[in-house]
Amino acid sequence: MDCMTMAPERERERERELTPEEERTLIRDICAAAEVQTKEGDTFYLITSRWWQSWLDFVNQDMNVTVSNGYGSHNYGSPCSSSPKRPFAIDNSDLINDATSEISNVDIELHETLVEGRDYILLPQEVWDRLHGWYGGGPTLPRKTINSGLSQTDLSIEVYPLRLQLLLTPKRGQAIIRISKKETVRELHRKACEVFDLILDNVCIWDYYGHQKHDLMNDMEKTLDDANIQMDQDILVEVLGDCNGTTDGGCMSSVQENGSNERDSGSLAAEPCRSSISVAEGLSTSKNVSRSCSSEISQSQLLTSPSSELDTVHATSTVATRGPPVGLNGLLNLGNTCFMNSAIQCLVHTPELARYFREDYHKEINWKNPLGMVGELAMAFGDLLRKLWGPGRTSVSPRPFKAKLARFAPQFSGYNQHDSQELLAFLLDGLHEDLNRVKHRPYIKSKDADGRPDEEVADEYWANHIARNNSIIVDVCQGQYKSTLVCPVCRKVSVTFDPFMYLSLPLQSPSANSMTILVFTSDGSALPTPCTVNVPKQGRCKDLIQVLSNACSVKGGEKLILAEIRDHKIHQFVEDPMLPVSNIKDEHLVAYKVPKLDKKSILLQFVHRREEPEGNGSIKAWKPYGMPLLAPFSYDGAARSADIQRALLTMLIPMLQSEKSQPASLSNSCPRMASHATDQDISMNEECAESDHKDGGNHDREEADCHLFLELVDENNQLIDLSTVEEKSFKLLSSSSSSSSSSILVFINWYQKDFQNYDTRRLEILPEVYKYGPPLPKRSRGEPLSLYTCLDAFLREEPLVPEDMWFCPKCKEQRQASKKLDLWRLPEVLVIHLKRFSFSRSTKQKLETFVNFPIHDLDLTDYLANKSNSQRQTYELYALSNHYGSMASGHYTAHIKLFEENRWYNFDDSHVSPINEEEVKSAAAYVLFYRRVRADNPSPSNGAQSCANQSHSLCHR
């Protein structure tokens, strides 16, 4: 029907009022024509859903009354007395935001939270013209049809054009404009000059996202969409006449500094998450415009989306598509939801899951599973997957899905940043429980292997698992470990076969700490000896003492005392058995092997001092040096100087420099030497001490050969010269200490001649206490880490952490057993999590290690412990979740391969762009998704082709 014939008809319509049936029929015919003829650039109009519903009720009233005809009477509903009245004038005021910014250059602004189908309906221009001619009203809200995809038929209605803030420099002006994302840079340039009344040739504009100059926008024919301009982004308008005075040396020099005047397609990946406003693509949400005005114009069909789809804010309305691309829809960022978007895109592009959820999966929902979410999580995920597999290249809001997620997993509520791997773990487990085909789980008791073949035991464990857990998630994503535990005491071996959903691989982060500690003995049986032990990385102080006691052969009547040394004194005793080893930060950690103390024993701490010059060197003073000694001392209320001397000399026996007993360079074979020298040497020293005392306490070390000068610190911090104390007993009180243990501080003042009798060099050498271990292959800083190396570290045998002690059925006690994992059964889809994040009580860090993972032919055949499986176990990468930036302000994206196109895409929230395969590998790779390669299926399909050849309603039902 051409324009010449339309005009007389409209005149006749104005002369008489059409019946509701005539209006309905006329609008139906116009909609049918518009569905076929819609093209890019056509105009659609917003109309409030409230008024549209009242018009639907009015034109459908003849279907709700009793109608009599020659074929009998049919009652369709209410009587005529309650028939809806003719609507008043169109009133779109509830769609308008009256509180628009004063600096806005847009006359009419829509509310930001409008949802198609709930708040408004989109009508073709001819339909709007008819309704507006019949009823009048307004305001008129036209919106253009744009091309939203690769094909010319991928049409969308841009309900929310880009809202851009123009920032004028150097005059500091600003303005807000609306412009279509399909407009060119030239049009933006023209509008900017028009707003600020500038001359075109004197102005350059910049992509000023995040208040940083990203690119000079000088490609005038490039669309804003291709230039990656986002909603609510800043555009810097720079006057060329002032460019030479800018800090970056003018527009052209800035281009050279940036290296390019075009944004690299992958550069957006490193940007932080954007707010829900800034990522809004501004497109309509209906699935097909024709559904708003169907040829079957009933109330149910005129309304667009079902209630479950009403929250798809700002998504795209696809119009009259013919064979469009599928699987290229982005997800809007609702505010720090990039972690969720990345995880979802990886799951929905898993071919097996895509096919499953695009078919009728509802029959498998387990509505009564107490471990599930009453099927709601599965349905929400299925609905979102179908939207994302809709035709075209649009943006979908995950708001309904996020609401369900927050309901069942409150940890993901709100708009804080989270871990995409944690979300994946919850989703896989939650979807499994919602779709578990087992309605009543039987109780099955696991049997011990008892020497049976691994193949038999593994199949038995798997059958028991499937009897209780049987879902699409188990079919696709679950594999099986072989777990071997060995008791360190009785050597009992326990083998179990457990299911797994994903592999969490360490990035060569050690599972144990190697600690080297200097061990002192109090009985003179050995020199101070460094001892190296491996402690679990998350181990406690009690674990350190246990392994150190074993290494030092601590006997039943002995114990180890750990102490931190500062300024050559014991700063504190490490007594808390639950103190994490990682919290012992002081490098100077020593251990003292002493007899177990009784109630009458106290500890004597001997601190070494020697004379050192002070100031200009003419005056000497006693300065502490070396490591202190610790000895138990039996004390019943009185002590003698000779007893303290004896305790000290006993410990110093291994350091005696005797021609017969020991050379200057002492070995560790001291017990034999001690047994020969103890009585003689102690007697010799006692005689010297007594002789010295009889001489009146003469401290002239030139005349003394073997006496050691001791000073005791009393409770008043006063020094007591033990060589002047009379033989009568005196009392000892423990000196102030930062530890709960009691110790008496005694200074050993070493004179020069004393060093002729004793070699104290062992007291001055303190080995490194803490270092990473076990030793790992050294890599240069730039050398990549192989994924196979990470897998080797994951499967390496290691002791259990103290929190996971194993109850040995033979010992009947908790044991820190060694554990070895092996891969026994591999899934169709193998999810690999690279453990980039580490947490402790005081630190949080991210490992930026570049992992060289294979994209094709990940071969795990040699890693499979089940050698009865003769098939090659090879996998191909098809998706990965990336994390950029730090833990506090990071951003997640996803790289996805579409098998039908054999092409990789970067999914950065709402922005989807093609990338080359070599761009897939980066240090941002966080969660990898591999799919098994089968000889009979070299080209995996995600079901997109079959869906594209069917009615698009399959993707949206």
Residue 515 to residue 586: CA distance in whole angstroms: 12
Spatial CB neighbours of 878, under 8 Å, sequence gap ≥ 6: 349, 350, 351, 896, 897, 899, 929, 930, 931, 940
Residue 188 to residue 194: CA distance in whole angstroms: 10
Residue 706 to residue 690: CA distance in whole angstroms: 11
Cβ burial of 844 (10 Å; 0-12, 13-18, 19+) is exposed
Structure tokens at 74: 């049919």
Residue 795 to residue 666: CA distance in whole angstroms: 43
Specify the residue for token string 């291709």: 226
Spatial CB neighbours of 919, under 8 Å, sequence gap ≥ 6: 266, 895, 904, 906
What string of DSSP letters covers 844-871? EEE--PPEE--SS-EE-GGGBS-TT--S
**808, β-bridge pairs:** 813
SS3 category, 209: helix
What are the start-end ranges of the E strands in 869-919? 874-884, 891-898, 903-908, 911-915
Residue 76 to residue 939: CA distance in whole angstroms: 54
Structure tokens at 541: 């102080």
Cβ burial of 839 (10 Å; 0-12, 13-18, 19+) is exposed
- Least Cα distance to 282 among 127, 137, 113 occurs for 113
Residue 293 annotated in active site? no
What string of DSSP letters covers 462-516? HHHHHHH--SHHHHHH-EEEEEEEE-TTT--EEEEEEEES-EEEESS--SEEEEE
The CA-based diameter of the chain, rounded to the nearest angstrom, is 145
Residue 206 to residue 810: CA distance in whole angstroms: 74
Contact between 365 and 430 (Cβ < 8 Å): no
Residue 61 to residue 299: CA distance in whole angstroms: 10
Spatial CB neighbours of 745, under 8 Å, sequence gap ≥ 6: 569, 605, 607, 712, 713, 735
Instruction: Look at phi and psi of residue 888 and say left if phi exceeds 0, alpha if psi is from -120 to 50, else beta.
Output: alpha
Residue 106 to residue 507: CA distance in whole angstroms: 53
The amino acid that residue 192 corresponds to is A
Residue 27 to residue 931: CA distance in whole angstroms: 50
- Least Cα distance to 297 among 31, 34, 38, 112 occurs for 31
Among residues 214, 432, 693, 891, the one annotated as catalytic is 891
Spatial CB neighbours of 557, under 8 Å, sequence gap ≥ 6: 595, 596
Residue 438 to residue 281: CA distance in whole angstroms: 42
Structure tokens at 309: 């789809």
| Cis check: omega of the bond before 170, within 30 degrees of 0 | yes
Core vs surface per residue 195-232: b (16+ CB within 10 A) or e: bbebeeeebbbbbbbeeebbbbbbeeeebbbbbbbbbe
Contact between 263 and 908 (Cβ < 8 Å): no
Residue 824 to residue 480: CA distance in whole angstroms: 5
CA gyration radius, the chain: 41
Residue 490 annotated in active site? no
Contact between 747 and 722 (Cβ < 8 Å): no
Among residues 31, 243, 251, 338, the one annotated as catalytic is 338
What is the number of helices (H) and of strands (E) in the chain?
21, 45
In order of 38, 382, 852, the CA distances from 2 in angstroms are 16, 45, 64
The set of catalytic residues is 338, 891
